[in-house]
Amino acid sequence: MMLIMIIRPTKEDVESLHDFFRLVITDTYRKEGIAEKKEDLLAEIETKKQFLAMDLESDGVERCFLIAKIEDLIVGSIEYGPSSALICQCTNAELKDIKEIGTVFVHPEYQRRGIGNLLLKAIYEEMDKKGVEVFCLDSGYVHAQRVWKKKFGTPDYLLKDYWEIGNDHMIWKLYLENVRN
């Protein structure tokens, strides 16, 4: 049995988290069939690094990260913070004042073992402590969309062919009390 610790990251975790972001995002792009989009891939990695820096600089106020570790190996991450410009744009700013859960990543070798669910439960607790009652999440990744649809149902916003023909973007608006039960 694996002992998984879910903790807040520290400055000592930064380099390992940067490597983790690179590994998981590169793997995701490969599995999604978009590995050739190198600039997008690098931009996404850089955005996650910036979000992590915001978390550490604000002690979890601007953005709040949690990481899953097995011993010293980072096997998962999740964060929440202000809703993204993409979410604001795609919802005509309807979700601009609610928090967004993002950076839900699980190490490729540890997927389908419940780590994502543990991270979600832990971030729900964090949000509850800080009085967050409503949140959103989005995805343009087909594999992630399947997971979110199974977990949260039909998205509240479906942006048909947003990325290209046949590649939609989905956004869910969720209530903490509903997802915790």
The fold of the 5-179 domain, in CATH, is Aminopeptidase (3.40.630)
pLDDT tens-digit map of 131-168: 999 999 998 888 888 989 999 999 999 887 767 677 78
Q: What pLDDT is recorded for position 158? A: 87
Chain segment 80-103, per-residue pLDDT in tens: 999 998 898 889 999 999 999 998
**Burial environment of residue 77 by CB neighbours within 10 A (0 to 12, 13 to 18, 19 or more):** buried
Sheet containing 134-139: which strands, arranged edge to edge?
5-7, 64-70, 73-82, 99-106, 134-139, 167-175, 157-164
Q: Please state the rounded mean pLDDT for residues 99-119.
A: 94
Confidence (pLDDT) at 1: 59
The rounded distance, in Å, linking the Cα atoms of 87 and 172 is 10
pLDDT at 86: 87
Question: What are the tens digits of pLDDT across the range 42-81?
Answer: 999 999 999 999 999 999 999 999 999 999 999 999 999 9
Predicted pLDDT at 142: 82
User: From the centroid of its chain, how far is CA 34?
Assistant: 19
